Amino acid sequence: MSEVAYIAIGSNEGDALKNCKRAIEKLNNTDDIKVTKVSSFYKTEPWGVTEQEEFINSAARIETTLTPEDLLEVCRSIEESLGRARQVKWGPRIIDLDIIFFGDRVISGSDLKVPHPHLKERAFVLKPLMDIAPEKIHPVTGATVTQMAEAIGDEGIIGKAE
């Protein structure tokens, strides 16, 4: 049985838009994953470590038969295949794939936390999610993606990247 999950996608090294599109292609070409919706691509200011290049961010809705832990492994494998090296937390990256939601599950492992713990603070995740899942409900807070996005506004969103 498949579940719906949402993946946040971001890049700010090299051709960031191309990196994001390649990551989406790789997700869709993975056994047990089907990408069913992709948001617009947004140019955004960096978050956390602000002394770096602007990001390109988007989000994808997928259907998968993988477990959340196996999906995390696939995301990390895709990141590595595109040249990601984990160096500085919130620092520059060629690609970043984060599991935002996995069905209505709440997961609090050492490697995987779902819903993503910083979701409510990040317009660069919420804005793309609004494109593809405005009524998706956060399983802990009960707020929709739209409500969370409206609560923080478009801070850090520069505009569409397409």
**Catalytic residue positions, numbered:** 84, 93, 96, 98
Alpha-carbon distance 159 to 27, whole Å? 25
φ/ψ region of 154 (left if φ > 0, alpha if ψ in -120 to 50, else beta) reads: alpha
Three-state SS for 11?
A: strand
Tokens of 158: 């520069």
- Residue 154 per-residue DSSP state: T
Alpha-carbon distance 141 to 23, whole Å? 30
Query: Closest by alpha carbon to 75, among 11, 150, 9, 123?
Result: 9
148-1-137 Cα angle (round to 5):
10
